[in-house]
């Protein structure tokens, strides 16, 4: 494990995770969130999408900087997964692009486009750094790679559970399940590329595409996710140690 300012421990990763959640959802509460109306207009996108993400970005940046965990959060120095694993995130990227190409943007203003792009970039940066970045660094201090994949992905999924009380209702539980599946694909992308940056980009692209998800190909998302879970289980069991 590389030298860091703060020795990686699970508790430090969880504290940063909870700190991010407190700030993000705190902004939602202050701004009177209605989850189902986030993409309705310029005002809702700014107050319920961009601002909480911007505040969250500041918080997680402070935590990772204070810990000195930037390099291990962004890069793996251990052996990468086989090159064929690229296929799963690759298909996910294609689905996202198709959704964007076939989307209906008749009511999307120029300002809304700006907020959507900025928000999607922040989503990719924030959620990946929180869960598949600094949290993976923390989890590797205690668990083998199967546990690192499972717990980082589970906490990524649970990060979305509060949506059930902010507007999605019980349907939000299904969102949590689908998020776990997608999170497994993002994990594989980190491991096959050796860096979190690609996962940040794909995550942002996927989130961006959900606002235009009119393509039937969107149903491939869960299929890709299930395949990713299977691959993650098989490949992580072969890994002894990752730095």
Instruction: Kindly list the domain boundaries of the chain, sorted by start residue.
Output: 10-236
Q: What is the pLDDT of residue 221?
A: 86
Q: What is the pLDDT of residue 212?
A: 67
Q: What is the pLDDT of residue 233?
A: 97
Report the chain (243 residues): mean pLDDT per 10 consecutive residues.
85 98 97 93 96 98 98 93 98 92 88 96 98 98 97 97 92 94 98 98 94 67 95 91 59
Helices in the chain by DSSP H: which ranges? 10-30, 42-45, 51-67, 70-74, 87-102, 110-127, 135-139, 145-158, 171-193, 197-210, 220-236
Q: What is the pLDDT of residue 240?
A: 66
């Amino acid at each position: 494990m590389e030298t860091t300012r703060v020795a990686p421990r699970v508790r430090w990763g969880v504290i940063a995770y909870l700190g991010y959640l407190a700030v993000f959802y705190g902004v939602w509460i202050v701004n009177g969130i209605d989850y189902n109306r986030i993409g309705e207009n310029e005002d809702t996108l700014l107050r319920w999408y961009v601002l909480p993400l911007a505040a969250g970005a500041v918080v997680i940046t402070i935590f990772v900087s204070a810990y000195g965990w930037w390099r291990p959060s962004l890069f793996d120095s251990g052996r990468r997964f086989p090159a064929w694993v690229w296929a799963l995130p690759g298909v996910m990227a294609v689905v996202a692009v198709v959704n964007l190409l076939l989307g209906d943007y008749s009511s999307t203003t120029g300002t809304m486009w700006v907020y959507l792009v900025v928000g999607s970039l922040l989503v990719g940066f924030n959620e990946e750094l929180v869960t598949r970045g600094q949290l993976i660094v923390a989890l590797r201090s205690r668990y083998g790679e199967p546990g690192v994949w499972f717990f980082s992905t589970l906490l990524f999924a649970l990060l979305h559970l509060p949506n059930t009380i902010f507007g999605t209702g019980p349907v939000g539980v299904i969102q949590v399940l689908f998020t776990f599946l997608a999170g497994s694909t993002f994990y594989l992308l980190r491991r096959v590329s050796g860096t979190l940056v690609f996962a940040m980009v794909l995550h942002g692209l996927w989130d961006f595409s959900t606002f235009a998800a009119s393509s039937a190909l969107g149903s491939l998302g869960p299929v890709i996710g299930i395949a990713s879970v299977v691959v993650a289980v098989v490949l992580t069991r072969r890994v002894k140690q990752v730095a």
